[in-house]
Amino acid sequence: MVRSILKIVIFILFSFILIFSLALLDKFINLGLTKDMYNSFVTPFLLMVYFIFVYTSFRKDFLIRFILTRELYKVICYPIFLSLFLVFVINASRFVPLYYGGEIIGVGSKQGTDFNELSTVGKFLLVSLFTGFTEEVAFRYLAFGGLFLFLNQLVAPLPHHHKSGSKPPFKVIEFLIELREKLFFKKNKYYLFSWLLLTSSIFAFAHGPDITNFHLYFLPGFAFGWCFIRYGFLAAWICHASFNALSWPALIIIYSLLL
């Protein structure tokens, strides 16, 4: 009980320090923060931090998956190179319809675009770092680490009976046992690829795409998921943040070259 209260107190202090620091930065270098910006970017970020920090099982599992290799240059450099490649390829694809008499492919209906009030530093902090963290926790970590913890609670006691010769009472339970074993322990390529396809599709649909711009979100989501599986959460966060930060400059460069 005391430890739980202490965690909440620490989180409140962290939230206060973060918001106070952002307010100071906004005052001295004009980040362009508004109340809506706090609600859209800072609040979801803090909710994800709270979720991971307060719940012990999630915190321990998150720390295990934060970095999956000792080769830190791969964790940092590979995601940046990947995002740099993707951001130019994907943004270039938006101009393809122009050569057939169409219009530039637009963004998804649920993607935020009204960031004009934010400065360059403000966009990097909120759109790249904060949004990248929030979405990677939601679409990558919870979809993988959260699923692992859920399956552990649900079916971990069952494999012993399954291996002794008796089958689980329901096909669903049998499937969940197999899913847990092959996705998390054996790292079966078919299961990992299926997970990437599913989570990348969910990530894409969350941005409100249509058939013309679905790939604008599915491909980055697939790349972020691959970074998460291969190198850990930090790599996925770096890839996502880099992609968001580079998207607008890349679009301007491509526009100037093609038009």
- What pLDDT is recorded for position 165? 52
149 phi-psi bin (left φ>0, alpha ψ -120 to 50, beta other): alpha
Structure tokens at 168: 């689980």
Query: Sign of the C-alpha dihedral, residues 136, 253, 207, 95?
Result: negative
- What pLDDT is recorded for position 70? 94
Structure tokens at 99: 């050569």
Gap between the Cα atoms of 168 and 161, Å rounded:
8
- What pLDDT is recorded for position 3? 83
- What pLDDT is recorded for position 114? 76
Domain boundaries, the chain: 56-258
- What pLDDT is recorded for position 112? 81
- What pLDDT is recorded for position 166? 56
pLDDT in tens, the chain (259 residues): 788 889 889 999 999 999 999 999 999 999 999 888 899 999 999 999 999 999 999 999 999 999 999 999 999 999 999 999 999 999 999 999 998 889 999 999 998 877 888 999 999 999 999 999 999 999 999 999 999 999 998 876 665 554 445 555 567 788 888 999 999 999 999 999 999 999 999 999 999 999 999 999 999 999 999 999 999 999 999 999 999 999 999 999 998 987 6
Gap between the Cα atoms of 142 and 145, Å rounded:
5
